Amino acid sequence: MEDVVSDSHSRRIQALELLYDHAPENAGEIPHFVDLLGETLDDHAEDLWRGTLRLLDGQGLIKLAETMGFGGNAAYLTDAGRAEVEERRRRRANPAEMRSAAERGILQYLYQEDPHGTAWTQLRGDDGIKIHLEGSILPDSLVGRVAEQLKEAGLIEGGSYVAEFEGPLTARLTGLGQRCIESGVSVEEFLNKQRQAQPGHVFHIGTISGSNLNWGDHVTQNATTSSGLVGDELRQLVQAIVQALPVLGLPDEDAEAIRRDSEVIEGELQHQTPESKGIVRAMLNRNLNRILAEGENQLALYLVASAKVLLRNIGWDVE
């Protein structure tokens, strides 16, 4: 994770950067390192910097000329040291590297704060996360954009939002996000594995037409469910969830609650009262959150992903 940089690593980066950027007035001049720092150091700080310079010298990244007093220590970069700084700066400017660091940083930050996703954690603003990539803090706008993408992928839940910030102000980890960070692989690799492991049956999304259930908040062209009947698709989804309960790995109380909710949902789909839409949407969201939080296998992930696709395509908000 790169959202926290240790003091020793920070000193290492700073030393190499200072030496790289130094432009001597006279060719071949070797600078005193304390002059590059531009600050007065106490004894403890001098000892820390002396250790950093010795480490870099031992690694072949700088050539160090030591004196008894720290103020006389001089150093310059080797070719290996210059190459490391240039590679670090390339990574800092690489959009893919920046996005990947933001993904890892957000997930691990939330994991450290609350690995079970029971409480909301401040993600944006003055008290929010600061993610470093090779010693450079990533832009807050990138963090917000990536956080929103992680929410869309089901790895985090977004809490509060404010107009001046892109992405969620608060967030918490989902069960899927917890498994992602514990897997030790990148977010992209984790999500690719999830997609590859999903069963072959999918809901076909195209144009909702001839629907016998007029519940879409907004319906766009280019979207039809496999039967063309929204009520049928929702009923099939509910039945698939109930049939899968024995192998989803849910606690008994959650499985029983989903069965009860599913009976209510099917009744509302049958009668279609004015209040039915709100009841069905609330119960479906609640059941999907139960499955996502507690499900232990790929079928759970598949059911949740398929349901969210279906609900979004009939214009329903998905929590």
Cβ proximity of 88 and 13 under 8 Å: yes
CA dist 290 and 286 (Å) reads: 6
pLDDT above 70 (res 215): no
Q: What percent of the chain has pLDDT over 70?
A: 84
C-alpha 165/C-alpha 163 separation (Å) is: 6
Q: Which amino acid is at 89?
A: R
Instruction: Give the pLDDT confidence score for residue 8 in this predicted structure.
Output: 85
The predicted structure's pLDDT at residue 230: 63
Q: What's the alpha-carbon Rg for the chain, to the nearest Å?
A: 27
Q: What's residue 296's pLDDT?
A: 59
The answer to whether the beta carbons of residues 231 and 212 sit under 8 Å apart is yes
Mean pLDDT, residues 275-300 taken together = 79
Q: Which of 69, 5, 59 is nearest to 34 (CA)?
A: 69
Q: What's the pLDDT band for 86 if we cut at 50, 70, 90? A: very high
Residue 60 has pLDDT above 70, yes or no: yes
Pull the structure tokens for residue 72. 């006389």
Q: Could you tell me if residue 220 is left (phi over 0), alpha (psi between -120 and 50 degrees) or otherwise beta?
A: beta
Segment 251-284, tens digit of pLDDT: 888 888 888 888 888 888 877 777 777 888 888 8
Instruction: Report the distance separating Cα 281 and Cα 289, nearest Å.
Output: 12
Q: Out of 27-31, 151-155, 199-203, 253-257, which region has the weakest mean confidence (pLDDT)?
A: 199-203
User: Which segment of 37-41, 94-98, 247-251 scores lowest on mean pLDDT?
Assistant: 247-251
DSSP per-residue codes, 266-292: HHHHHH--TTHHHHHHHHHHHHHHHHH
Instruction: Kindly give the pairing relationship between strand 170-173 and strand 121-122.
Output: antiparallel
- Out of 225-239, 242-256, 283-297, least confident range: 225-239
**Residue 241 binned pLDDT confidence (cut-offs 50, 70, 90):** confident
The lowest-confidence range among 31-40, 188-197, 237-246 is 188-197
pLDDT > 90: what percent of the chain? 23
DSSP lists the bridge partners of residue 157 as: 172
The residues, any chain, with a CB within 8 Å of residue 199's CB and separated by 6 or more, are 298, 299, 302
The confidence score (pLDDT) of residue 84 equals 93
pLDDT value at position 306?
76
Q: How far apart are CA 123 and CA 173, in angstroms?
A: 12
Question: If DSSP codes are grouped into helix, strand and coil, which group holds residue 62?
Answer: strand
**In DSSP terms, which residues pair with 62 in a beta bridge?**
77
pLDDT of residue 289: 85
